Each structure stands twice: as C-alpha cells, then as structure tokens.
Amino acid sequence: MKPDAKSTIETGKAILGIELGSTRIKAVLIDQENKPIAQGSHTWENQLVDGLWTYSMDAIWHGLQDCYADLRSNVKDAYGIEIETLAAIGVSAMMHGYMAFNEKEEILVPFRTWRNTNTGQAAAELSELFVYNIPLRWSISHVYQAILNNEAHVPEINYLTTLAGYIHWQMTGKKVLGIGDASGMLPIDPATKNYYTAMVDKFDNLIADKKFGWKLLDILPEVLSAGENAGFLTAGGASRLDVSGHLKAGIPVCPPEGDAGTGMVATNAVKQRTGNVSAGTSSFSMIVLEKDLSKPYEVIDMVTTPDGSPVAMVHCNNCTSDLNEWVSLFKEYQELLGIPVDMNEIYEKLYNHALTADKDCGGLLSFNYVSGEPITGFADGRPLFVRSASDKFNLANFMRAHLHASVGVLKIGNDVLFNEEKIKVDRITGHGGLFKTKNVGQRILAAALNSPISVMETAGEGGAWGIGLLASYLVNNEKNQSLADFLDEHAFGGDAGIEISPSVEDVEGFSTYIENYKAALPIEEAAVKFKK
C-alpha cells in the first residue's frame, strides 16, 4: 500500500527540491514516486547596481528562507505537521554569473548574474584562445573581464562559484558543483567529465605574469555528475534554511545544478538525441548530442546534461514579451467595449485564429527584439512590425507573424545544428508559456524546427521538481540505473507527452517567413539606430 503524503513527510521520506530562478524561488516536496506533495515560493527581482545586474546576499538568504517558510506553511495547512527531516535535498539556480569569495568566505564584489553583458572583450579573447565559443555570461568570462579591468579584488579570490554552488556550499560545507552548472563556468571535456585540462593550462599561462597567488583549479568547484555524493546538510546549513529550527542536520544533498540542467530533467530530455525548448520571456533550446560539434559556432553554447553528455544550447534573449504586449492591446479594446476580460480566453482565441492564417503570414513580419539579440548580431533591440501595402494584412496573419517571430531566432540558431552539423534528434519537448494554449505554440515550433514537438503536463512542474528528481536519483537509484533510465521508469513512467509533427505546408511557410525575416534585418538595424 502506498504511504500517504502525510506519513511520507512524517517519516522523513520526502525529498526537497529548491530552485532560485530569475523572478521566483520555488521549493517542491516530492514523495517516493517523485510526485509533488507540497510547495512554497518567494517572488524577487534583480537590481541594477553600478551598471551591473545583481541580487544582494540579504535578498538571496531572505528569499530562500521565506520560500522554505512558505513550504512549511503549506505542509502545516495541508497535513497539520512540521518538516523535521528529509530523504534528500537538491539546490538549483540560474546558471553562470560571478560569485567570488575571499579566505574569510566574504563575497568580494556583488553577485554578477548571467544577465550582464559587460564581458565582451573577455569572451572574445577566451573564445579565440580556447578555440571554443565562450559566451558573455559564463563565469570564466566574468573573472577574465575583472582581470582585464584590473579590479582590485582579483588577487584575493579564494573561491569562485555559481549561485547554486554558493547555496550548496553554505548548506553542506562542500565546494562542489554539478557538471551541467560547471559547464557554464568553464568548458567540460565529455571524455573526462571534468574541466578541459588544456583550457585550464592556457588560462593559467595567460594570467601567469599577474602573479595572483592562485591558479584556476585552486578557485573552481569540484565537478560532480548526477548521483554522486555531494555532502550532507550541516547544523549551520539547516538553521540557515529553516529559521524555525525544526529541520535536522545529516540529510544527503545532491550535486547543485543550473536551471538549464533541471529543465532537461523536468522534460525527460537527458538522453542523447533528445532535446527541449523553453519558450517564455526568453527562449532556449537544448539538444543532447552523441558527440561534440565539428567546430565552434558563435550562436551555439556547449554545455552538458547533469550526467555529462554534451549539449548544444541556442539561447535567445527574446520570445513572447512583444507578443504579450500585442495581446494586451486586444484586452484593452475588449475593456473599451465593456466586455468582461478573461486573458486565457483572449490568448486561446487569438492563438487558434493564427492557425487559420496563410502559412507564410501573408508577407507580414515582426521583430520581437525588446532587448538585443546576439544570434542575429544585435546588442540592442527595438520591437518592430513590418508590412508592405501589398501584403495580406488581416488578424490571423498578424497573430501568426508574431508567433513565428517568437521562435524565429531560435530557428536561425538551430538551423546551424540541423543543416550544417546534420544533428539527429528523436524527440524535442516544449515547455513554458508559449505552449499554454493547447497545440498552437507546439505546432508553430514544429514548423520552425521541422521536427516533431512533444509537450508533457509535468513540464509545468519546473526546475524545482527537476532538482528534486536529481536528489531522488541520489538516494533512490537502487537498480544503479543511468539517469535517463531512472527518469523513464520512476518519474515519467514511459509518458512521452502529446506529440505534434509538422506539416509540409507549415514548414515551407515558416521557411519563407524566415527568409523574408533575414532579408529585412537591415530594417531592424535602422530602427535600433533611431534614438528618440
């Protein structure tokens, strides 16, 4: 007989997953069957301080503690009990960025998040040095940019980590990092599942004349793969997480991971030849490769799954923000008419109407660049709708043009993988706000990537559930299965979601749209140059 949720929590068999996302910190308790049984959350926002995006240390700890307190409150309300102990804990957070500490464990400069783009010189020089694409947001770009800027704190660096790595360190005392998150600090060699030795040596030689007193491996976290022992919750860590004092020390903690890795887990996309697309405010695709790419590409970031397989990541700064603003205009119009507004209904009506449009959007174009878009070469953006007098300007084409734009840049990046590298993919899973209206975003993405797209209901559980599954893999993998097999059997039960394959007409229509889109990029360039 399956234990109920209350007894699962009372007997310490529940597992806790926590993820610190860009706008929300979320905690999820899962049972022995990896199903969510309680949750808590905390809303927060980054701050622009001295020109750099950051979260203060106070905000980090207040947010984490408030999120856990909200989880405790949820458990009390639902089951009338306290959380005393757990089977395992996992911590995840937004990848990359820069958290540098001295010997006294004091942070040397405010946390610099993935959102900062002040690392252009460093990323370019390191990409050339390593013969490997090094994105602006990676930790190695941040530390080298600090060196190039002659920042006074650099000689004092004793430890460099990500947000997830920092929380894990404070909870367990262990300076470790999951391999997926580590791959956003410095490239990972799939053969050794550790940092590339040649790149470490090149970097140390590059900065040798600075005589800092540290070498790169001295300050980086130890790399761990999913399922490896990453330490135990200390008494100090327990009291920092649960200020009420109920939570006991000694709980196993899995390797901390980045949000990209937990997204792969939450969509069951860690097996080679699988992938996932996250499409909301921004978008990114993660395709798990059978081998490394033949050469580096500026539009593709190479990271890894939580168990170390190479992953090609295409990251786009813009997705649905501009589209949402247009939908809000229709809401405003409806309010003017005195008609009650249901936003879900507005989205459903407009999105489904877009499916009746011309497959090429009747010639209409949209550039959804609320911010810059590196893949198409834009440091800044300006949202733009473009048409000629002869185009078929109607509501269906208008909506479809904006839906196409939401994944247009993603298509441009992935065309490199599918057309130039001839990458093969068996299944791609979509998750995020674009897929909330049934079938529509899924069908548009299938046309863009010319690939079947699956959507699973569980994808909505998010990264906190994903890191909870990794914590479950640490303590419940009795058959010694691979991560992919464990997820298949114990989390998804063979559920591959609902799949939509692209039609020939949809693919041809999107291809025509994207060729027009690329030809019209000079219009966007001119719009960006225009200053009000």
Domain boundaries, the chain: 96-161+186-219, 269-455+502-532
Whole-number Cα distances in Å, 225 to 190, 256, 444, 465: 11, 10, 35, 18
Same fold, 96-161+186-219 and 269-455+502-532: yes
pLDDT exceeding 70 applies to what percent of the chain? Answer: 99
When mean pLDDT is compared across 56-65, 108-117, 141-150, 217-226, the lowest value belongs to 108-117
- What are residue 223's phi and psi, to 5 degrees? -90, 130
CATH fold label, 96-161+186-219: Nucleotidyltransferase; domain 5 (3.30.420)
- Mean pLDDT (whole number) for 452-456: 91
- Mean pLDDT (whole number) for 145-157: 98
pLDDT of residue 273: 94
pLDDT of residue 459: 53
Reported as a single tens digit per residue, the pLDDT across 297-316 is 999 999 999 999 999 999 99
* End-to-end alpha carbon distance in the chain: 68
Q: Under 8 Å CB-to-CB from 433, ≥6 apart: which residues?
A: 279, 280, 281, 320
| pLDDT of 421 strictly over 50 | yes
Residue with tokens 């009795």: 478
The CATH number of 269-455+502-532 is: 3.30.420.40
Q: Is 371 exposed, middle or buried (0-12, 13-18, 19+ CB in 10 A)?
A: middle
Alpha-carbon 303 to chain mean position: 12
pLDDT exceeding 90 applies to what percent of the chain? Answer: 86
Please give the Cα distance from 256 to 223 (Å, whole number).
10
Whole-number Cα distances in Å, 195 to 65, 201, 298, 302: 33, 11, 20, 13
pLDDT of residue 1: 45
Nearest to 267 by CA among 27, 457, 89: 457
Which residue type is seen at 81? I
Please give the Cα distance from 455 to 433 (Å, whole number).
12
Reported as a single tens digit per residue, the pLDDT across 356-370 is 999 999 999 999 999
Reported as a single tens digit per residue, the pLDDT across 390-414 is 999 999 999 999 999 999 999 999 9
| pLDDT of 238 strictly over 50 | yes
Please give the Cα distance from 276 to 393 (Å, whole number).
33
Reported as a single tens digit per residue, the pLDDT across 464-523 is 999 999 999 999 999 999 999 999 999 988 777 899 999 999 999 999 999 999 999 999
Which helix (DSSP H) or strand (DSSP E) does residue 302 occupy? strand 301-304
pLDDT of residue 463: 87
- How are beta strands 427-431 and 274-279 bridged, if at all? parallel
- Mean pLDDT (whole number) for 417-443: 92
* 8-state DSSP, 216: H
